[in-house]
Amino acid sequence: MRMSHYLSILLLLCIASLLTQSTCTLHSRPRPKLKGILGFAWKNCGSPDDPAVMKTLSISPDPISVPGNLMASAMGTTSVALSSPLSLNVTLEKEVAGFWVKIPCLEEIGSCHYPDACDLLDQLIPPGQDCPEPLHTYGIPCHCPFKAGDYTLPQSEFYLPDIDLPFWLTNGNYRAQGVLGADGKELGCLKVSLSMHST
């Protein structure tokens, strides 16, 4: 899953992990839960000379049940080392009555700027802790820096646990764009689209 996984899934990690982290906020009523994801699609959105490029990304089944298992494989390349700080700009939009509406940054979820994506990875997997499977099995790092080179994630199984959603993140069609950068330069850009269903 190496860099290909992070270039492809980094945006998903940020969104999914931040959704999970949002459960730390206390509320007086139960929060809606993510029950399914369908219609997942992706594409590169950077310039042709961006150093970090996704080559392939496959996620199945469609729909994906939450909680539940998904299968993912990916291939990607980066011609430069990716090291801290790596800025990440996320733009999240929802389709409303046929129009795409930008969702603002609320509780660190939505259209947010993250000064360092490496810090997000450190929050997900504390430094010094073994990388989770299947990263550990394949000897793949889960912290910055990532060396320049080609990376491949063979077909691997991942488990999605129960995820509590913010009250404003409801059923519907969403699209998100993540732009990775360093020193004021764009390193890579990925767009994903999907439909979410919640309780």
- Pick the closest to residue 91 from 39, 32, 142, 15 (CA basis): 15
* Domain span including residue 43: 2-198
Say what the pLDDT of residue 33 is. Answer: 85
The tens digit of pLDDT for each residue in 44-82 reads 998 889 999 999 999 999 999 989 998 988 888 899 999
The tens digit of pLDDT for each residue in 133-168 reads 777 776 667 888 888 988 788 898 888 888 888 877
The CATH code of the domain that includes 141 is: 2.70.220.10
Give me 181's structure tokens.
């950068």
Q: What are residue 155's phi and psi, to 5 degrees?
A: -50, 120
The tens digit of pLDDT for each residue in 95-126 reads 999 999 999 998 788 899 999 999 988 988 88
**pLDDT tier at 127, thresholds 50, 70, 90:** confident
Place of tokens 């392939």: 56
Instruction: Specify the DSSP class assigned to residue 117.
Output: H
Number of domains the chain contains = 1
